[in-house]
Amino acid sequence: MKSLKYHFELMASYNQWMNVKVYEAASRLTETDLIKDRSAFFGSIWGTLNHIVVGDTIWLKRFATHPSCTTSLREVACLPSPTSLDQIVFDDFRSLYEQRAFLDEKIIDWIDKLSDSDLDYVLSYHNIKGVAANKRYSSLLLHFFNHQTHHRGQVSTLLSQAGEDIGVTDLLELIPEETHV
């Protein structure tokens, strides 16, 4: 049976793979198309892409407080803290794409360095409204990857509405074939 860590490694790879597909499709659009309000949670493709970076940054900075993660997430911990969930952290596409790629590399490296026992840790943190919480690290990782998938799904729809098809988005594409059944 595959470990819980294996599944998080799979999700980290999936996250990076999908972000490349999304950003490549978005790069083919004009700035007008990117910022057009399409009545999504965060308005536009641009607003939603920024929100995913904001959400990832907030969570990675929290995850960096885990005693085993201070080294692997050091560079992320030093990033400025977003002030709101709808903050536009980058005004140009290239900078946003570079930050997305940077975060995705850090996510893969961080997950790779986690141990199964690290996943059982209870993380104490404050949400963006300042409310204290204590939750199991593995459960927070599930939320982290689910949040990305949720909003990337919205971006996929918005890109489709703008005439861009990002192709296959199924996690199944990255699940290896098993040779021993």
The verdict on whether residue 150 carries a ligand-binding annotation is no
The verdict on whether residue 180 carries a ligand-binding annotation is no
Beta bridge partners, 125, equal 133
Q: Show the 3-state SS of the chain.
A: CCCHHHHHHHHHHHHHHHHHHHHHHHHCCCHHHHHCCCCECCECHHHHHHHHHHHHHHHHHHHCCCCCCCCCCHHHHCCCCCCCCCCCCCCCHHHHHHHHHHHHHHHHHHHHHCCCCHHHCEEEEECCCCCEEEEEHHHHHHHHHHHHHHHHHHHHHHHHHCCCCCCCCCHHHHCCCCCCC
Backbone angles phi, psi at 123, to 5 degrees: -95, 130
Q: Which residues are annotated as a binding site for a divalent metal cation?
A: 51, 147, 151
- Known binding-site positions: 51, 147, 151
